[in-house]
Structures are given as C-alpha cells and as structure tokens.
Amino acid sequence: MWRALVFIGLLCVAAFGAVWLADRPGTVLITFAGYEIQMSVAVAAIALVALALFLALLWSLVSGLLHLPSRLTFASRARRRSRGYQAISRGMVAVGAGDTIAARRYANEAERLLGREPLTLLLKAQAAQVSGNREAAEAAFSQMMEEDETRVLGLRGLFVEARRRGDTGAAQQYASEAVRLAPAAAWASDAVLEARCADHDWRGALEAVERRASLGLLNKATAKRHRAVLLTADALERVDHDPDGALRSAQDAVKLAPDLVPAAAMAGRLLSRKGDLRKSAKVVEAAWRGLPHPDLADVYLNLRPGDSGLDRLKRADTLMRLSGGAPEGRLAVARAALEAREFARAREALEPLLQERPSMRVCLLMSDLEQAEHGSTGRGREWLARATRAPRDPAWIADGVVSDHWLPISPVTGRLDAFVWQAPPEVLVAPELNLHDDVTADLDDAPKPLPVVLAPEPVPEPAAPSEPPLEPNEDVLKSELMAALNSEEPVKGEAPLPPPEPVVFPATPPDVPKPKEEAVARRSVFSVW
C-alpha cells in the first residue's frame, strides 16, 4: 500500500516538473573544444537523465566483472554446504533406520563437504555408535570438546560412553564438568544426583536437589518430596551410630512430607525410645491417615514397652477408627486381639476381609487364630494351605522389584523415590530401562528385562472336613507343607511354571521387626517359583 502511494507521488512530481519546464521555455548552450551545442531546456533535462542511466549501467557492468570470481566461489561453497547438509539429513535417517553402511557413508561425505561442523561431528559419532565402533565415537566426542559451542554435547557423549563401558568414575567427572559449564543441563544434574545417591552421600544429594529446584528443573512439590526422601535415607543410615541426628533428619522429613511412611515410622520409633510418647503418637497418626501401613501400626502398638495386650488392643482400635475401617486397621486390631486372647474380637475384625478372596496375611492370621483358639485342627491347616494361593498383600515395589522394606532409590535404575506401597500385580514385568541418552545412545543396545514373576491361577477352596482328623504334631505338618511348597512339582490342575532367576530381597533392618505372618507369607509364596 505505502509503495503504491510513493510511486504515485513520484509520478505526480515528475508530471509537475514537466509542466513547469514546458511553461518556461528556454535554451541551453554548451561550448566545448570549438563546438557549440544548443538545445531546449526539456531536451537538456532528458539528455541529462539518459546520461545518468548510462553511467549507472556502465558502473554495474564493471562492478559485476570485478566481483565475478568471489560470486562464483560463494556459489560453489553454497552448493557444497547444501550437499553437506543433505548428507547430514540422510545420515540421520540412516542412523534412525539402523543402516550402518549408509550412516558411515553419509558421515564421511558430510565431513568432506562441511569439515568439522557440529552436526557433522554428531553424525559421525552416531554412525560410529550404530556400527559398534566405540573408539571412533569417543574420538568424535573428544573433537567436540575442543569447541566452546559443542563442549557440553561432547561431555554428554563421553558420559554415555563411560557409563556404557562401566567406568562410573569417568562418567561422574564428565557430568560434574557439564554441570559446571551448563548448570541447566537436566541430564548432567540428574547424573550428579544419581551418583551421590549411589554413594550414599545424602547431604550432597540434598544440595543437588536444591540447585535443581533453584534452576527450575524441579517443581516445588517434587523438590519437597525429594528432600523428604533424602532426609529419611540419612536418618536410616545414622540411626545406629547417631540416634539424635537420625531423629532430627526424620523429623525434618516428616515436616516436608507427613505421609512418608518410612520417615514417620522412624521418627515415631525414636521419639518413643526417648519417652516422648505424645509427639510420637501424633506423628504416626498423621501418617496413618494418609496411608495405613503395617510399619506404622507396629510402632503405634508398641509405643510404650511392657504394655499389656489389652492396652495394645485399645491403640489398634484407635488406628482402625482413624483409617475408617481400612484393611490394615482391621489387621492391626485382629493381631492385637489375638495377642490379648480376645478371639471373638479378632474374628469380628477379620470378618469383612473374608467376604471375597482373603489375602495372604488374612489367611495366615486366621490360621494362627484357629490354632490359638481350638488347637491344631483341620481348619488351621486349611487356612495355612489357602495362604499359599491367596492374593499377595501390598509391598514396596519399584521397577519390578519387590522389597521387604523401603529404599530411597531403585536398585535397578537408581531413580530417587521409586518405591511405592501397592499390591504386586499378577505379572511383574520390568520397565524398559533408558540407561543411555536418547540422542547419543546406541540403537542396537536393548535393555535387559528383569525376570517375570507369575502368580499361580486361583484354585477352588477345599471344603471343610466333616470330621476332625487325627491330631498329628503341628511342627511336622508345617514342615511337610513347606517341603511340598519348595518342591518343583506343579500344583494339580496347573501348568508347570519355568523357574526364573530369583528376585533378591533386601534383608529387614534389625530395628523394624516383622510379624510372623508376613515372614511365612513371603517364604511360602516365593518358594513356589
């Protein structure tokens, strides 16, 4: 629009000038070298414009001839760059497709056309990784270290290669250097945090979390949760040699995450040892409202050593009231009632849990109840047999690993706050582990899956015997049952399961005693496979 207006304005000015010259006639006389040239003003003006155009054209022609070599060189370079970037594009596609021959060919062509461009070095490293040539890949990443703009990328590649060959020390050095050069690099800060957690440097890991939160790599809620987890891990490590320091760490963790069960259990246990029963009860009750857990019940029922069974039963009633009748609350009441010899109260607490498929702990508790109330009978042995095929109770699970107790990091991936309290699924499948970087990882390296743990198919429950059988020795019965469970013969009606590699379960710490039924349940279930 503006250009059209300017053009119209210039035409108006030219027309006005022509009219002005036409209204004022005159002559122009030029005398040069004995010659006289006489013309009108209008003709002189037109001749002057033509001369200017001729001089401009002549200057353009001379300038074009003078700059012709540089223009030819620039065009050649542009063609080379175009061909080079096309080779990079095709090379990246070949890397993604796993075509090692094409990837190496395009990488060499791009290096010949473009030289040591950042993308050329990256393609060269990618092609070397796909081909399995680790030395060439590390050489390409080392070349990236020589340039400021690609130094962090080179550190990333060298970090991945160091982790691939198992050189943890070198990987940590590369990650630390990357954090120094680029604090906002998420992969480097993740690697530093993972390394400090692996070394049990919980205070150093706390500093790393604080730095990540300040840079905006973590939101406030996640950073708060990670701080609580690291403080809990610090408390668990210091509980034996520094109980006061462990108590401070556990209390700080509870302030950050009141529903973190390990922190609340640790704080409650240490406070009860110091005699501060009221504060210990408040901590455990706050965590119990968020997640009823057997560790919390164990701490709460044993706040004061030497209490009678009826006192512990009253505390169990408080837990069930706080949980609104949750299964863990009923199990706590049933266990406390069984220890207090209140059999009717124990049956009343367990009755809602027997409606559908009772879990393993419920079956074992019913077995103990039958034996305590009626002695060694068929009903007790029936509940003990049902426990071997009952649904599994909730446990600490992270990345396909079931642990007897909570851990701050995953033993598979090293991920912080990975364990969750939930019932194990029917099939435990390990996740696809992304141990290498997405950009610089070798596409041929496939993650090794964890062993798959299969649950047996449910079988019809055996009918109660019409007549009580003979009363053999109970210890002999349990030993025979355990021997049958440990045998490799499949259960009748079920296909034999291939024995996978056993899952390693960490040992329970000495300060967290486990109920009898939990120990028997784990031994019976996992010995089947």
pLDDT band at 409 (very low <50, low <70, confident <90, very high): very high
- State the pLDDT at residue 263: 95
Closest CA to 298 of 452, 516, 147: 516
Q: Is 416 helix (H, G, I), strand (E, B) or coil?
A: strand
Task: Establish if 496 belongs to a structural domain.
Answer: yes
Is residue 508 one of the residues assigned to a domain? yes
Q: How much is the mean pLDDT over the chain?
A: 79
Contacts of 190 (CB under 8 A, 6+ apart): none
Q: Which two tokens stand for residue 174?
A: 């590369």
Residue 452 pLDDT > 70: no
Residue 5 lies in a domain: no
Point out which residues pair with 27 in neighbouring strands.
40
Q: Which 3 state secondary structure label does DSSP give 184?
A: coil
Domain total in the chain? 2
pLDDT at 499: 41
Q: Has residue 117 been placed in a domain?
A: yes
Considering 89, 114, 144, which residue would you say is the last residue of a domain? 144
Residues with Cβ < 8 Å from 141, sequence gap 6 or more?
121, 125, 153, 154, 155, 157, 158, 161, 440
Confirm whether pTM is higher than 0.75: no
pLDDT classification of 287: cutoffs 50, 70, 90: very high
Which stretches does DSSP call E strand in 316-426?
395-398, 401-403, 420-422
| Whole-angstrom distance, CA of residue 439 vs CA of residue 187 | 11
Position 475 in a domain: no
In whole angstroms, what separates CA 41 from the centre of its chain?
Answer: 86
Residue 479's pLDDT is what?
A: 52
* pLDDT of res. 375: 84
* Domain annotation covers residue 283: no
**What per-residue confidence (pLDDT) applies to 463?**
40
Find, among 326, 299, 327, 293, the residue nearest to 315 by Cα.
Answer: 299
Owner of token pair 């700059």: 67
Q: Give the end of a domain, one of 129, 144, 159.
A: 144
Length of the chain: 529
Residue 126 falls inside a structural domain: yes
* Domain coverage including residue 83: 75-144
Where does a domain end: 90, 112, 144? 144
For 358-367, write each residue's pLDDT tens digit.
Answer: 999 999 999 9
Output DSSP code: residue 505. -
Assigned domain for 33 exists: no
**Cα–chain center distance at 196:** 16
